[in-house]
Amino acid sequence: MIITMTTLPHLIARSDWDNVNQRLTSSPEQASIEIPTASKYTVYPIHQAICSKKSCITCETLILMIRSFPEALDLNVFRGACENPSFSREAMEILLSSTNTTVSRLVEENASLYASIALKRKNVGIVDLFINRYPEVLDGNILIDACKNCTAIMVEKILMAGVRKGIERNGGLYRKNKSDEDALSIAIRYYDENDEERQNILSICLRYANIDENDKKVMPEPGYSLILAAIGRVPQDILESILKRNAHELKNTDYVGKIAIVKAINMAKGAEQNESLPDIFTSSDLIDACTNGTPSMVQLLLENGSQHVGCESKSESQENNQNALDIAVSLYNGDDDDRCEILKSCVQYANAVKLNLKFPSSEYPTLLAAVGFVPLDLLYSIGKKYQCEMKNTDLIGKAALKTVVRLAGKKVTVPDHIFQHIQIPDQIKFDSRSYSYRRMSRLSISE
């Protein structure tokens, strides 16, 4: 068959949709004429038209073709539309609304395949339409495939749909594939600090990872610090890269925010380390003071530090498997001021030694010091008892404290009412550009 310059296939090949419309209006039967190809499938003008990448078929033309010959609307039309990166969402909606019951059922059965095809062609509109129209698509590996092959906007649309549909926790971010990898792991593995799209994909995944895993339908908190979302979730080299790229998030945070971030980073770095308590906690003198003494006795012993740790006392206490911090925790009573102060001194000292800070310090919040040293169920009581220490904490500080709690166990959260008197202080000129990751991890109170 010879195709002349005026045949319908030639007009379609040129994406001359105005003349295609005129031809179909005057001769609708031309929509039913088979186009000879090497394909084993029957090809009609609609198949050729939906594959046009030069200029996507107009909705007007598509409607005319369907009305002229509805029998041509088969599965190959849908596959071809999904393979065309320029095929519009509006045109796909026309196809879906125009198909008969049998084809419609087959499209639904193959929705995951078609969504995957469109995803690989980076057709955001088609993918968004399929994941919202056919939620079962979200049960597969489409999010993992998006993190491997696609754009950040597509990853976000899939995650957003997953959260809205209650697809597992965090929108399906942690669903694993056959290789035992989830979407967050893929985003981390493919991260490239020189590729903005890869940076954005990981950023979106981290923000969704930060959603409370017990609440399936809450979206990421707007403006939440990417640095805080990354701490404890990415390797150190990627965290350094994120710190460098997002230093502006920390530029004006206050003292509590700064030290909370430092503690969070140190906790993440030492997550696999089982560091022992300072030797003084095995001292019989300190153990006795925590058991029967007063807050001032405990404070004095800790201020004098290891000089009060004798070899015999240390050995004896180790044989009994005792340490002063455990005793202070076991005897803690939120309604007993002395018991609260004894535990406060112990956690402040343990935290100061671990982070190489000055002890004592009246500025370091007790709640922040306690995280990692006491059972998580005590944090609520400690936070309530010493909430006055946090009353001026800014939003970054509050979020950083929650990050520290998350790293400590992910079993409790810090109640918001503890921070009910939050006031944003005058901006403290903390130029985060001058604090590299390694320097931040060594900050002391004096800095």
**To which residue do tokens 């100061």 refer?**
352
Residue 216: inside a domain, yes or no?
A: no
Q: How many domains does the chain have?
A: 2
Structural domain including 388 reads: 279-440
Final residue before a domain boundary, out of 50, 85, 109? 109
Final residue before a domain boundary, out of 78, 109, 140? 109
| pLDDT tens series, the chain, 447 aa | 444 457 999 999 999 999 999 999 999 999 999 998 887 889 999 999 999 988 899 999 999 999 999 999 999 999 999 999 999 999 999 999 999 999 999 999 999 999 999 999 999 999 999 999 999 999 989 999 999 988 899 999 999 999 988 888 888 999 999 999 999 999 999 999 999 999 999 999 999 998 876 666 678 888 888 999 999 999 989 999 998 898 888 777 888 888 888 888 888 876 444 457 898 999 999 999 999 999 999 999 999 874 443 334 444 445 557 899 999 999 999 999 999 999 999 999 999 998 888 898 888 999 999 998 999 889 889 989 998 888 778 888 888 888 888 888 754 444 444 444 333 233 323 333 233 333 333 333 233
Residue 286: inside a domain, yes or no?
A: yes
DSSP secondary-structure letter at 14? T
pTM of structure:
0.76
| Per-residue pLDDT at 174 | 93
Chain CA centroid to CA 257, Å: 21
| Per-residue pLDDT at 320 | 59
Final residue before a domain boundary, out of 85, 109, 133? 109
Helices (H), 165-275: 183-189, 196-209, 226-230, 236-245, 255-269
Residue 251: inside a domain, yes or no?
A: no
Residue 102: inside a domain, yes or no?
A: yes
The answer to whether the Cα torsion of 68, 73, 78, 84 is positive or negative is: negative
**To which residue do tokens 């498997």 refer?**
321
> What Å distances lie between residue 317 and 88, 215, 348, 440, CA to CA?
74, 45, 22, 36
| Per-residue pLDDT at 425 | 30
Residue 205: inside a domain, yes or no?
A: no
| Per-residue pLDDT at 216 | 62
> What Å distances lie between residue 224 and 258, 259, 284, 389, CA to CA?
16, 18, 46, 23
Residue 92: inside a domain, yes or no?
A: yes
| Per-residue pLDDT at 432 | 30
Residue 58: inside a domain, yes or no?
A: yes
Residue 247: inside a domain, yes or no?
A: no
CATH of the domain at 19: 1.25.40
What residues contact residue 240 under an 8 Å CB cut-off, 6+ apart?
436, 437
